[in-house]
Amino acid sequence: MDNPQELFDRLIASDRRAAARLISMVENNRPGASEVVKRLHAHAGKAHIVGITGSPGTGKSSLVSRVARELRNRRHTIGIIAVDPTSPFTGGAFLGDRIRMQELATDPGVFIRSMGSRGALGGLAAATNDAINILDAFGKDVILVETVGAGQAEVDIVRYAHTSIVITMPGSGDEIQAIKSGIMEIGDIFCVNKADREGAARALAELRMMVDTSGHFGEGEWKPPVIPTVALTGQGSVELVDALQSHRAYLEAAGLLDQKVRERARAELLEIINRRVARAVLATVDEEGPMSGLVERIAGTRELDPHTAARLVIEHLLKESAAGDGRLP
């Protein structure tokens, strides 16, 4: 199935195994993957991309499966991508969690995939973006991307989603953590999960206050709702999905969806360029590279300063690129 043409045809024909295969190929930087991803671009761009983030153990995966089921009730098809989960996506602590997940996994309207940084040779953010685009082209209506709100790459994945959900839980000092890691500002919807636990009312009140003081919400502007949920029972998932759909409708009505789509495209473009240019630069100044002597000239003989050396490398790359020798990939 590694033949790009065959893979493309099968993906467009909604073959799940083809989608799974292509995502693995993207993760492992396999030859042929980028050719298919490029061709898929024209078929993507319809899905509602939803980022879900929060500290470890707040209940993101449990809530994602609740949201997915509610979206299924509303006849939407769904892609789920769990990015670098600290625990395997299907390994909830209770048997009930696993059973709920398995029910979803066997539903042909749902596609579930974990992405680990371990496999993603070309960078986790890039591989995740590709996986989102693949599921979009595959025809999924809504793509839910779960990330732990820790590293920059994870936060960026949520920042550039169309709708971002930030999940906290009572009594963990989680709100403060969220503010520190900068995920507070990117929330379109806030969720206090584990609302069955002590301190839920207080956590809700604190978060609502935080949203109130975070800015001035004019007439017709989106004000992030704060929703209590219990992923264990499903309580609050209807309200959460309502909020998700309201936010999408708001973006469309306010003409903001186009803007989000462009911001996302720009971030994706810069991510790819950064990665490629960095690779070309490394290949140039590395021990084996054509400009490997630069470090010695900076630090050893001190005949060169690093600014001049950097300019020499850039000029070298531009010249090579103009000559079309393919060093700039």
Ligand X SMILES: Nc1nc2c(ncn2[C@@H]2O[C@H](COP(=O)(O)OP(=O)(O)OP(=O)(O)O)[C@@H](O)[C@H]2O)c(=O)[nH]1
The pair of structure tokens assigned to 26 is: 């993207």
One residue of 53, 55, 58, 61 binding Mg ion per CB under 5 A: 61
- The reply on whether position 92 binds ligand X by CB under 6 A is yes
Residue with Cβ nearer ligand X (191 or 285): 191
Region near ligand X per CB under 6 A, out of 30-38, 56-64, 112-120, 203-211: 56-64
Residues 287 and 35: their CA atoms lie apart, in Å, by 31
Residues 254 and 56: their CA atoms lie apart, in Å, by 34
Between vectors from CA 168 to CA 93 and to CA 124, what angle results, nearest 5°?
A: 75
Region near ligand X per CB under 6 A, out of 158-166, 182-190, 191-199, 240-248: 191-199
Give yes or no for a contact between 276 and 329, defined as CB atoms under 8 angstroms apart. yes
Binding mask 94-113 for ligand X (x = CB under 6 A): x--x----------------
Minimum CB separation of residue 22 from Mg ion in Å reads 24
- DSSP percent split of the chain into helix, strand, coil, nearest 5: 50, 10, 35
The pair of structure tokens assigned to 32 is: 């042929």
Polymer length in residues for the chain: 329
Footprint (CB under 5 A) of Mg ion, residues 84-123: 85
- The reply on whether position 197 binds ligand X by CB under 6 A is yes
- The reply on whether position 60 binds ligand X by CB under 6 A is yes
Contact partner, 56, from ligand X, Mg ion, none, Cβ < 5-8 Å per class: ligand X
Residue with Cβ nearer ligand X (61 or 133): 61
- The reply on whether position 58 binds Mg ion by CB under 5 A is no
Residue with Cβ nearer ligand X (86 or 106): 86
Give yes or no for a contact between 128 and 115, defined as CB atoms under 8 angstroms apart. yes
Footprint (CB under 6 A) of ligand X, residues 143-172: 148
- The reply on whether position 62 binds ligand X by CB under 6 A is yes
Contact partner, 53, from Mg ion, ligand X, none, Cβ < 5-8 Å per class: none
- The reply on whether position 254 binds ligand X by CB under 6 A is no
Residues 167 and 59: their CA atoms lie apart, in Å, by 8
DSSP sequence for 77-112: -EEEEEES-SS-TT--SSHHHHHHHHHHHT-TTEEE
Minimal CA–CA distance to 79: which of 146, 150, 12, 22? 146
One residue of 15, 107, 141, 196 binding ligand X per CB under 6 A: 196
**At 71, which amino acid appears?**
L
Binding mask 208-237 for ligand X (x = CB under 6 A): ----------------------xxx-----
Residues 74 and 57: their CA atoms lie apart, in Å, by 28
- The reply on whether position 59 binds ligand X by CB under 6 A is yes
Which helix (H) or strand (E) segment is 143 a member of?
Answer: strand 142-148
Contact partner, 196, from Mg ion, ligand X, none, Cβ < 5-8 Å per class: ligand X
Dihedral sign, Cα of residue 253, residue 256, residue 260, residue 262: positive
User: Which positions lie near ligand X, rule CB under 6 A?
Assistant: 54, 56-62, 85-87, 92-94, 97, 148, 193-194, 196-197, 230-232
Residues binding Mg ion (CB under 5 A): 60-61, 85
